[in-house]
Each structure stands twice: as structure tokens, then as C-alpha cells.
């Protein structure tokens, strides 16, 4: 029988019958927290945000974690910045062999032991004393957690990728930063030089991307502008631009792409996202 701590973190699939039990446990715990005066502000600490950055790297999690965690931290008054993702998470190994970084599905992760098992394997990288909604330190969540499939949750000496956390990039295109998810990128494209083809808007991209006369090759860097918070608007998940049809037909499956947009955590590709030239 799962402990209540492990159940809360197992990432059970949506169709799993235990989801109903988990929802009841959640509601019961929220009522208990009210009586205990255990407010969210007491749980949203810098240590927990840093644990989140580490865990996101270990599972090959989404670049969307950056915008969401920074927004939550801002509301909570926690001093979290873009550079923290590089400092805390960039060298963390990806040990979860799930799509898009690996080959398995999230339900396989759940049945292999879930997040408690992942946390157990990376516990030396986590703040064990970080507070939780159960009123116990987070180390309780991974106590006695087992891995039931070493190919889904890899040992530290056999990671999917050795240093796979989200990287923060800066340069003349992104003086205020950009991000890339190495675990979802093609290794041979992480160092790349080539001509750029720029799409000024999302409408421009949609109109031209499958044009057989589009002057691009597999070495071209595709750039999409105007899709950040103020552009599209709303910073839509369009950063993983499609590969031009002409190149797909030739077998090309990845190209370097650069955008101020974001992309889905289920997407694969060597994509630089969240390009920021201004903090205004």
C-alpha cells in the first residue's frame, strides 16, 4: 500500500482508478491545512523552488517550468531568477527515459516508481529539509521509494544524458536570456553554425513553411519573431516550428530553431526559446 506521501507524487495516469482516491486525499488534506494554519506561503520557499528545478531536470521536464515557476515565485515574493535554473539545474543528469527525451510514456514512469523513486536517486542534489503541504520535510516523500524498472528510471551511473537541465543562453539575439532543453535536442546540433531564415510573424511562418521554393537547407537556422508575451499575444506554444515539408521528405527530422515563443514539453527538437531582448 502506498504511503500518502508517495501517492501524492506518483504521477498516476489520468485513467488510473486511484486518481479518485488521490483527489479525496487532496481535499481532506486541504481542510486539515486550514485548521493547522499551514498556508501556501509557508511552503513556497526558495529551497522548494530549487528542488523543483532539480527534479524538472532529472525527469527531462518542460521549458515551460521556467515561466511558470518564475511567475509563482514572483507572486510569493521569493527571490528566484532565470540564472537560478542554470546554477541549480543545468548539470543535473536526466535519469527518466520518457518522451520526448527518451522512449517510454509517463504512465511507465508512474509504474516504475514515480517521482518518489526519482527523488530518492537524486536526493544528494535536493534540499531534504524543504517544507511540504503535509507538514513534514520533503525527505519523507522519498523514504523507502523503490525503482521497479531501471530502464525507465535510470541509475545515476547510466543516465539518459549526463548534464541535461535547462540551459540559460545569452548573446546578441538574447541579451536578457533565452533557454534550451538539451535532453530534447539533437546532440550534433548543440554546436552549429549556419545561415538564418527569419519569419517576422506566425502568419508569415504558416504561409511560407511548406513552400517548395523556401530558400533553406537542413543547416539553416529558422528564426520566428513576434511570439512572446506581447507578440502573438500570450507567448503561445509555437516555438517548435515545423520542419519545412521539402526537408521532411528528404529525411530531415531536426533543425536549429530560435524564437521568443515557448513550446510544449512533449515536443522534441533543438530549439532556443523565450528569447528576451528587453525586460520591459
pLDDT of residue 126: 98
Q: Which residue in the list 139, 186, 264, 276 is annotated as catalytic?
A: 264
pLDDT of residue 265: 85
Strands 167-169 and 271-273: unpaired
pLDDT of residue 1: 46
- Is 264 one of the annotated active-site residues of the chain? yes
- Strand-pairing partners, residue 258, are 223, 272
pTM: 0.91
Q: How many CA atoms lie within 13 A of 238 on its CB side?
A: 21
Question: Would you write out the chain's pLDDT as a tens digit for each of its 280 residues?
Answer: 456 666 666 678 888 888 888 888 889 999 999 999 999 999 999 999 999 999 999 999 999 999 999 999 999 999 999 999 999 999 999 999 999 889 999 999 999 999 999 999 999 999 999 999 999 999 999 988 999 999 999 999 999 999 989 999 999 999 999 999 999 999 999 999 999 999 999 999 999 999 999 999 999 999 999 999 888 888 989 999 999 999 999 999 999 999 999 998 888 899 999 999 865 5
pLDDT of residue 11: 74
Residues for the chain: how many in total?
Answer: 280
Amino acid at each position: 500500500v502506498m504511503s500518502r506521501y508517495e501517492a501524492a507524487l506518483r504521477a498516476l495516469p489520468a485513467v488510473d482508478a486511484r486518481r479518485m482516491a488521490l483527489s479525496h486525499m487532496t481535499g481532506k488534506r486541504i481542510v486539515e491545512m486550514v485548521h493547522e494554519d499551514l498556508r501556501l506561503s509557508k511552503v513556497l520557499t526558495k529551497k522548494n523552488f530549487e528542488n523543483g528545478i532539480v527534479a524538472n531536470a532529472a525527469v527531462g521536464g518542460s521549458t515551460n517550468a521556467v515561466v511558470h515557476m518564475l511567475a509563482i515565485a514572483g507572486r510569493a515574493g521569493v527571490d528566484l531568477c532565470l540564472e537560478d535554473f542554470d546554477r541549480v539545474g543545468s548539470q543535473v543528469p536526466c535519469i527518466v527515459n520518457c518522451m520526448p527525451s527518451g522512449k517510454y510514456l509517463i504512465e511507465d514512469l508512474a509504474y516504475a516508481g514515480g517521482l518518489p523513486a526519482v527523488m530518492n536517486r537524486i536526493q544528494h542534489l535536493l534540499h531534504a529539509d524543504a517544507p511540504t503541504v503535509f507538514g513534514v520535510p520533503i525527505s519523507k516523500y522519498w523514504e523507502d521509494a523503490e525503482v521497479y524498472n531501471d530502464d525507465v528510471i535510470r541509475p545515476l551511473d547510466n543516465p539518459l544524458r549526463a548534464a541535461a537541465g535547462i540551459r540559460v543562453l545569452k548573446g546578441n539575439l538574447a541579451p536578457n536570456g533565452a533557454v534550451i532543453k538539451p535532453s530534447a535536442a539533437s546532440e550534433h546540433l548543440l554546436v552549429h553554425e549556419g545561415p538564418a531564415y527569419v519569419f517576422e510573424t506566425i502568419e508569415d511562418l504558416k504561409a511560407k513553411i511548406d513552400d517548395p521554393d523556401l530558400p533553406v537547407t537542413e543547416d539553416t537556422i529558422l528564426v520566428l519573431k513576434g511570439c512572446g508575451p506581447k507578440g502573438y499575444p500570450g507567448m503561445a506554444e509555437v516555438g517548435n516550428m515545423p520542419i519545412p515539408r521539402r526537408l521532411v521528405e528528404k529525411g530531415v527530422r531536426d533543425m536549429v530553431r530560435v524564437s521568443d515563443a515557448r513550446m510544449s514539453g512533449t515536443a522534441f527538437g533543438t530549439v532556443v526559446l523565450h528569447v528576451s531582448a528587453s525586460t520591459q
